[in-house]
Amino acid sequence: MLPSSPEYKSLINTIVEKSNLKQEVYHNTLDVFNIFKHETEEFVRRNKAKFKKSPFPVLFEYNDKSIFEFQLTFGSDILIFFMHSNVFEIPRDHLVMKSSYIREDKNRSYCGIIHIFNFLADSFKYKRTTDIGYCIGRIFVNREKHYFTEGKREIGLLYNNFTGNILDQKAVQTIIHSSILYTINFDLLTPPYENIKEVSVAEIQTTLDAMSLRTGKRLGFRFQADVE
């Protein structure tokens, strides 16, 4: 394939077009992620001092970990927001691929993804590295800042109009509040007795960090049954 050939020029054009598309999606997703950071920090600022002097102080903390990650701590829970650095295409069998919005322009199906994970605050405080968390939602953002979500209850059911939803400040606030509400209602359950009835001498003599008594909100139970 010679540099002067139509095939070569077509190849280069394809590379440039796809690269530009992915960069546009990436920067739009990063812009949105920074709005998430700002709104989460504001949420903490408004509530941190308000409940600090109560008989049982409620913890509110914001921790900016990196360009792609931040943490929101409230009460006994942590939400970790994580933006993937890559751009993905929505699978062909996904419901949104059937919309006229995508059929009119296939490039709209390329999205950045923001994940929301829920962990217990004590898991980080006491460095219980065997504790488990859950991905409670993920947000797909395209080149036009249209978005849809996948997730549990409040997060996954309300924001699936990819054609009409624009991820602006108000939408970001709603997603943050819905994530907090879901987390609050997603309570810690005791694990089945069968899972913890036997503990070795080595486990009981080491610190809690190294023990195999993992803690999780639904450890030992089917997480899916709680939401479907």
Residue of higher predicted confidence among 58 and 73: 73
Q: Which residues lie across from 69 on neighbouring strands?
A: 66, 82
CA pair distance 82, 174, nearest whole angstrom: 18
Per-residue pLDDT, averaged over 192-214, amounts to 54
Q: What is the pLDDT of residues 164-175, one digit of tens each?
A: 999 999 999 999
CA pair distance 140, 101, nearest whole angstrom: 15
Q: Which residues lie across from 116 on neighbouring strands?
A: 81, 137
CA pair distance 41, 38, nearest whole angstrom: 5
Residue of higher predicted confidence among 83 and 196: 83
Give the pLDDT confidence score for residue 228 in this predicted structure: 42
Per-residue pLDDT, averaged over 46-51, amounts to 82
CA distances 219 to 130, 140, 153, 199, Å, are 12, 28, 19, 17
* Whether pLDDT at 42 is above 50: yes
Give the pLDDT confidence score for residue 23 in this predicted structure: 97
Alpha carbon distance, N-terminus to C-terminus of the chain:
54
Residue with tokens 């999205």: 111
Tell whether pTM > 0.95.
no
Q: Which residues lie across from 228 on neighbouring strands?
A: none
* Whether pLDDT at 74 is above 60: yes
